[in-house]
Amino acid sequence: MSSRPAWRALHYSAKRRAFQPPTPYRCFSCTTRAQSKPEDERMTHFGFTNVPESEKETRVGAVFSSVAASYDRMNDLMSLGIHRLWKDHFVRSLNPGSCLPAMTADQRGWNILDIAGGTGDIAFRMLDHASNINHDMETRVTISDINAAMLAEGRKRSLDTPYYNTNRLDFVEANAEHMPHIPDASVDLYTVVFGIRNFTDKQAALNEAFRVLKPGGVFACMEFSKVDNPVLDGIYKRWNFSAIPLIGQVVAGDRDSYQYLVESIERFPSQEEFRGMIQKAGFMIPGQGFENLTGGIAAIHKGIKPIVKA
Ligand SMILES: C[S@@+](CC[C@H](N)C(=O)[O-])C[C@H]1O[C@@H](n2cnc3c(N)ncnc32)[C@H](O)[C@@H]1O
């Protein structure tokens, strides 16, 4: 267990990224502006703090560089293991490796892009599902993430899987908002799990998802969302704002990164608003477009790229 204070962890990871913070460190949850910026600079949320858009990526990068090593353990503690059930359900609902409508009976193998794939939780599940349930050994997953430290954890975990060093698994460091290295209409399934709320320009990422998917391809996102029951919401918020930063401090020696993570959950659009953004990118929405999990603590959103763009 690390006793390194959170500000030191952030300072250290920022140094590793050869970035000199433009302002002295201050608490993530403060709502005053960090420093005076030109009036016309666009602002965005970093948790409850307003920051210039140009700073958000670096700040999010510092958070994930700091939490990477403890990320998987913290996920289990913060969600009491429930994230595993959600992730299993998410993958089952997509049924990777099954026969796609455009495929003939002997054609197999999906090209999956797992955005913000971090430590590989979704990618490994999808490959396991394709192999063990659909007996498909062709499906491949590219784990794409902006953060080198998170990808390094994913690579380390992949050593214990049958996919290590095979053409079924690939790691790419990239910003989901701009992926010129991925050709148009080349992907069967685009997934993003607990990642998109950290992006600076979420609409740009959704537009990129639309561009890289094949016609008929599926966009699937699981993200923390809005709880519909006031009693559950009260308990959940209390857990988020009291327990999680404390667990972050005790287990990972980093209270402020976990304070940011819970604040970013609050800032994420409602199920209906996010569905509108998916639609705006050009996707067709199946049914109501989202499925609430555990009363809306998380939600799965889906969109389909039309065969002929409307
Ligand atoms: C909470 S983790 C989720 C990891 C994984 N999908 C999971 O469910 O366990 C969020 C991930 O989003 C990544 N991320 C943040 N901003 C990004 C961006 N603009 N483009 C790609 N990845 C990004 C972070 O580096 C981090 O690995």
Q: What are the structural domain ranges in the chain?
A: 44-305
Residue 133 contacts by C-beta under 8 Å, 6 or more apart in sequence?
Answer: 95, 97
Among 290, 92, 115, 103, CA closest to 214:
103
Distance 194 CA to ligand 1 centre (A): 7
Sheet holding 111-115, edge to edge: 169-173, 140-145, 111-115, 187-193, 213-224, 298-304, 290-293
pLDDT of residue 309: 53
pLDDT at position 308, please? 76
Q: How far is residue 310's CA from residue 306's CA, in Å, rounded to a whole number?
A: 7
Q: Which of 83, 88, 144, 146 to mutate to test the pocket of ligand 1 (most atoms within 8 A of CB)?
A: 146
- Rounded CA-CA distance 96/84 in Å is 17
Can you give 183-212 as a three-state secondary structure string? Answer: CCCCEEEEEEECCHHHCCCHHHHHHHHHHH
What pLDDT is recorded for position 62? 87
Quote the pLDDT of residue 1. 34
Per-residue model confidence (pLDDT) at position 107: 73
Q: What is the CATH number of domain 44-305?
A: 3.40.50.150
How far, in Å, is the centroid of ligand 1 from the Cα of 261? 11
State the pLDDT at residue 71. Answer: 86
Q: What is the pLDDT of residue 92?
A: 98
- The annotated binding site for S-adenosyl-L-methionine is made up of 119, 145, 175-176
C-beta of 195 in contact with ligand 1 (< 6 A): yes
- Give the nearest ligand 1 atom to 192 CA: 6
CA–centroid distance, 277 to ligand 1, in Å, is 19
Q: To the nearest 10°, report the CA torsion of 67, 71, 73, 78.
A: 90
Long-range contacts of 121-125 (CB under 8 A, 24+ apart): 121/72, 121/75, 121/87, 121/193, 122/87, 122/90, 122/91, 122/191, 122/193, 123/154, 123/169, 124/157, 124/158, 124/161, 124/163, 125/87, 125/88, 125/91
Nearest CA to ligand 1 atom 14: 116
Could you tell me the end-to-end alpha-carbon distance of the chain, in angstroms, rounded to an integer?
Answer: 54
Q: Which of 112, 190, 194 to mutate to test the pocket of ligand 1 (most atoms within 8 A of CB)?
A: 194
Q: Is 222 in the pocket of ligand 1 (CB under 6 A)?
A: no
CA 155 → CA 65, 91, 149, 223, 264, distances in Å? 15, 20, 10, 23, 26
Is residue 138 within 8 Å of residue 115, measured between CB atoms?
A: no
Q: Is the Cβ–Cβ distance between 145 and 119 less than 8 Å?
A: no
Residue 106 CA to ligand 1 centre (angstroms): 35
Per-residue pLDDT of the chain (310 residues; tens, 9 = 90+): 333 433 333 333 333 333 333 333 333 333 333 444 556 788 998 989 899 998 999 998 988 898 898 888 888 988 999 999 999 999 999 999 998 877 776 777 999 999 999 899 999 999 999 999 999 999 999 999 999 999 999 999 999 999 999 999 999 999 999 999 999 999 999 999 999 999 999 999 999 999 999 999 999 999 999 999 999 999 999 999 999 999 999 988 899 999 999 999 999 999 999 999 999 999 999 999 999 999 999 999 999 999 975 5
User: Dmax over Cα atoms in the chain, in whole Å?
Assistant: 61
What are φ and ψ of residue 122, in 5° steps? -80, -45
pTM of the predicted protein model: 0.87
Distance from the CA of 64 to the center of ligand 1, in angstroms? 8
- Strand bridging mode 43-46 / 169-173: unpaired
